[in-house]
Chains A and B, each alone.
Chain A
Amino acid sequence: MLNNYLINYPVWDLGFLGGGTLIAFIAVIHVYVAHFAVGGGLFLVLTEIKGYRENSADILEYTRKHTKFFLLITMVFGAITGVGIWFTISLLNPAATSILIHNFVFGFATEWVFFLGEIVALFVYFYTFGKMNKKDHLRIGWLYFAFGWLSLFVINGIISFMLTPGKWLSSGNFWDGFFNPSFWPSLFFRTFMALMLAGLFGFVTSSTVKEKALRNSLEKYCAKWLLIPFLFLLASAWWYVSSLPEPQKLMILKLSPEMPPLIKTFLFLSPLIFIAGVFMAIRMPGYVKKGATFSLLIMGVLYLGSFEWIREAGRRPYIIYGNIYSNSVSAKDIDFMINNGILKTTRWVSLKKIDETNRIQAGREIFRLMCISCHSVGGFINDITAATKKYSQYGMESMLNGMGKINEFMPPFPGTNAEKKALAAYIVKELNSRKEELPSEYSIAPIKPQIPLFDPSKDKYILLVWSGKGMHFISDNNRFFSISQPGNTIYAQLIKRGKTPEIVAGSLRMTYRIEDGFNTPSSNSNFWQYSRSFYGRRINDNEGFSGKKTTGEMDFNESLMAYSASDLPVIPYRDDGAFVPFPLVYVEARDSKTGDLLCSTGVSVPASTEMGCRNCHGGNWGRKNITGLSDETSLDILKTHDRINRTDLEMLSRNGNPRMCSNCHAGEQPGTGEKTKHLNLSAAIHGFHANYISTNDPDPCRNCHPSSGFTKSYRGIHSKSGLDCSSCHGKMEDHALSLLVSEKNEGKSEAERLMKHLRPRSADNVKQIEPRKAWINQPDCLNCHVDFKPPETDQSPPNVWTKDKKSLYSSRSDEVGIMCPACHGITHAEYPASNIFGNDRENFQPVQYQKNAYPIGANKNCKLCHTIDMTEEIHHPNMLAIFRNIY
Chain B
Amino acid sequence: MDIAALIPSPDTIPVHWVWFKVLLIITFMAHILLMNIMLGSAIIAFVSGLKKSPDSSAVSLQRDISEKTTFVIAFTINFGVAPFLFLQVLYGNFFYTSSILMAAYWLSIILLLIIAYYSAYIYKFKFEALAFARIYFIGLTVLLLIITAFFYTNNMTLMLSPGSWTQYFDKPSGTILNLSDPTLFPRFIHFIAASVAISGLFIAITWQKKKKSGATDADLNIKKGMKYFFYATLFQVLTGAWFIVSLPRDIMLLFMGRDSTGTTVFLAGLIAAVVSLIYGFKNRVWPATWSAIVTVFFMVIMRDMVRTAFLKPYFAVEKLKVIHQYSPMIMFMASLIIGIAAIIYIIRCALSTRTS
Contact of B131 with A by CB under 8 A: no
**A8 to B345 CA separation, bound complex (whole angstroms):** 46
B114 close to A113 (CB less than 8 A): no
From residue 74 to 130 of chain B, which have CB atoms closer than 8 A to chain A?
A: 74-75, 77-82, 84-86, 88-89, 92-93, 96-97, 99-101, 103, 106-107, 109-110, 113-114, 117-118, 121
Cβ-closest chain B residue relative to A146 = B342
User: Could you tell me the distance in whole angstroms from the C-beta of A886 to the nearest C-beta in chain B?
Assistant: 60
What residues of chain A lie closer than 8 Å to B99, measured between beta carbons? 87, 90-91, 94
Given contacts A13-B174, A22-B107, A79-B74, contact A109 B82 (CB under 8 A): yes
User: Could you tell me the distance in whole angstroms from the C-beta of A64 to the nearest C-beta in chain B?
Assistant: 14
B350 close to A98 (CB less than 8 A): no
Contact of B182 with A by CB under 8 A: no
Contact of A12 with B by CB under 8 A: yes
Per-residue interface assignment for chain A, residues 537 to 575, with 1 indicating a CB less than 8 Å from any chain B CB and 0 otherwise: 000000000000000000000000000000000000000
Contact of B353 with A by CB under 8 A: yes
User: Could you tell me the distance in whole angstroms from the C-beta of B13 to the nearest C-beta in chain A?
Assistant: 6
**Other-chain residue from A14, A81, A124 in contact with B110 (beta carbon distance below 8 A):** A81
**A137 to B82 CA separation, bound complex (whole angstroms):** 28
Given contacts A76-B117, A347-B5, contact A124 B350 (CB under 8 A): yes
Contact of B335 with A by CB under 8 A: yes
Cβ-closest chain A residue relative to B348 = A136
B100 close to A9 (CB less than 8 A): yes
Cβ-closest chain A residue relative to B98 = A10
**A348 to B162 CA separation, bound complex (whole angstroms):** 12
User: Could you tell me the distance in whole angstroms from the C-beta of B69 to the nearest C-beta in chain A?
Assistant: 12
Cβ-closest chain A residue relative to B88 = A101
Segment with Cβ contacts to A, from B192-200, B232-240, B280-288, B323-331:
B323-331
B327 close to A175 (CB less than 8 A): yes
A91 close to B88 (CB less than 8 A): no
**A113 to B336 CA separation, bound complex (whole angstroms):** 6
A131 close to B332 (CB less than 8 A): no
**A13 to B101 CA separation, bound complex (whole angstroms):** 10
Cβ-closest chain B residue relative to A144 = B346
Cβ-closest chain A residue relative to B8 = A8
Contact of B26 with A by CB under 8 A: no
Which of B9, B118, B343 has the most chain A CB within a 10 Å cutoff?
Answer: B343
What residues of chain A lie closer than 8 Å to B78, measured between beta carbons? 79, 112, 115-116, 119
Given contacts A12-B173, A15-B173, A120-B343, contact A87 B106 (CB under 8 A): yes
B346 close to A110 (CB less than 8 A): no
Contact of B261 with A by CB under 8 A: no
A99 close to B11 (CB less than 8 A): yes
What residues of chain B lie closer than 8 Å to A147, measured between beta carbons? 339, 342
**A383 to B26 CA separation, bound complex (whole angstroms):** 45
B100 close to A11 (CB less than 8 A): yes
A9 close to B8 (CB less than 8 A): yes
Interface size class of chain B, counting residues whose CB lies under 8 Å from the partner chain:
35 or more
Contact of A97 with B by CB under 8 A: yes
B350 close to A87 (CB less than 8 A): no
Contact of A72 with B by CB under 8 A: yes
Majority secondary structure of chain A interface residues (helix, strand, loop or mixed): helix
What residues of chain A lie closer than 8 Å to B85, measured between beta carbons? 101, 105, 108-109, 112
**Other-chain residue from B11, B74, B335 in contact with A98 (beta carbon distance below 8 A):** B11
**Other-chain residue from B81, B172, B331 in contact with A12 (beta carbon distance below 8 A):** B172
Cβ-closest chain A residue relative to B329 = A106
What residues of chain B lie closer than 8 Å to A15, measured between beta carbons? 173
**A131 to B351 CA separation, bound complex (whole angstroms):** 11
Count the A-B residue pairs with Cβ separation under 8 angstroms: how many?
A: 195
**A226 to B7 CA separation, bound complex (whole angstroms):** 50
**Other-chain residue from B74, B110, B332 in contact with A87 (beta carbon distance below 8 A):** B110
Contact of A818 with B by CB under 8 A: no
From residue 171 to 229 of chain B, which have CB atoms closer than 8 A to chain A?
A: 172-174
Given contacts A79-B74, A106-B14, A106-B332, contact A12 B103 (CB under 8 A): yes
Per-residue interface assignment for chain A, residues 136 to 147, with 1 indicating a CB less than 8 Å from any chain B CB and 0 otherwise: 110110010001
B96 close to A94 (CB less than 8 A): yes
B14 close to A10 (CB less than 8 A): no
User: Could you tell me the distance in whole angstroms from the C-beta of B305 to the nearest C-beta in chain A?
Assistant: 23
Which of B79, B106, B168, B328 has the most chain A CB within a 10 Å cutoff?
Answer: B328
Given contacts A116-B78, A128-B350, contact A90 B110 (CB under 8 A): no
Cβ-closest chain A residue relative to B173 = A13
What would 17 A/B residue contacts be, using CB atoms closer than 8 Å? A5-B5, A12-B172, A14-B174, A76-B114, A76-B121, A80-B77, A86-B84, A94-B8, A97-B88, A98-B92, A98-B96, A105-B13, A105-B85, A112-B82, A116-B339, A120-B347, A174-B325
Q: Which residues of B contact A (CB under 8 A)?
A: 5-14, 20, 23, 71, 74-75, 77-82, 84-86, 88-89, 92-93, 96-97, 99-101, 103, 106-107, 109-110, 113-114, 117-118, 121, 165, 168-169, 172-174, 323, 325, 327-329, 331-332, 335-336, 339, 342-343, 345-347, 349-350, 353
